[in-house]
Amino acid sequence: DIQMTQSPSSLSASVGDRVTITCRASQRITNFLNWYQHKPGKAPKFLIYAASNLQSGVPSRFSGSGSGTDFTLTISGLQPEDFATYYCQQGYTSPYTFGQGTRLEIK
Amino acid sequence: QVQLQESGPGLVKPSETLSLTCTVSAGSIRSYYWSWIRQPPGKGLEWIGYVYNIANTKYNPSLRSRVTISADTSRDQVSLRVTSVTAADTAVYFCARGFGDYLFDSWGRGTLVTVSS
């Protein structure tokens, strides 16, 4: 299975900050990389597909980049509703696997 | 906007079968991939498998021998069965839709299933 490693595992930031979360795959996955946001008790939300494509309705302060094995999710200008846990997921090959998550907390 | 709601017993005894249903509202289950994903307490997300166009399925090899995912288009429901459960199957189980097999664009809130005697 392809292992997905996110860093950091947790992050403290303030409203208005710019934050970057990194995701690394254990082998090359071209751009088959997706990002999700999850808040406790809520349905996870699909943010970005194919590494850099914003899902419809997702605010433009979210952006993704990367290819091969290294990927990033950037949130520019944090809003109060952005504090959540973020997961990357590879869709290159089955079984599809997720990173362990990055918990974004309010400083 | 499509809505997904997982339902089923919250407690299952060891060695028995876990059965969950995902009811899809405001959308048909045809022509989409329907996956089950789980998250054990304090752990990460694990993809279990999907059903596509009713008859096409793919499963995580780690669970393949114990898992069945099926779809009922007349009720717009997707089902999950996991046989011979142990405590390691205790998790929040999510239903998710994908317009491709490799992504999950809509999710349910999840339902906690505890395996315990």
What is the rounded distance in angstroms from the CA atom of residue A46 to the CA atom of residue A37?
A: 7
CB atoms within 10 A of CB B13: 11
Q: Is the pLDDT of residue A14 over 90?
A: yes
* pLDDT score recorded for residue A69: 98
User: pLDDT by residue (tens digit) across B78-117?
Assistant: 999 999 999 999 999 999 999 888 999 999 999 999 999 9
User: What is the Cα–Cα distance from B82 to B63, expressed in whole angstroms?
Assistant: 8
* pLDDT for res B101: 85
Q: In this predicted model, what pLDDT tens digit does every residue of B7-57 receive, in sequence order?
A: 999 999 999 999 999 999 987 788 899 999 999 999 999 999 999 988 899
Q: CA nearest B105 in A: which residue?
A: A46
pLDDT at B55: 85
Amino acid of residue A33: L
Contact B103 A49 (CB under 8 A): yes
Whether B105 sits inside 8 A of A99 (CB atoms) is no
pLDDT digits (tens, 9 = 90+) for A36-93: 999 999 999 999 999 999 999 999 999 999 999 999 999 999 999 999 999 999 999 9
Q: Give B25's strand partners.
A: B3
Read off the pLDDT of each residue in B51-67 and give the average, rounded to a whole number: 94
Q: How far apart are CA B82 and CA A10, in angstroms?
A: 33
pLDDT of the residue at B93? 98
Distance between CA atoms of residues B111 and B107, nearest Å: 12
Distance of CA B69 to the CA centre of its chain: 7
pLDDT at B72 over 80: yes
Inform me whether the C-beta atom of residue A103 falls under 8 Å from chain B C-beta atoms: no
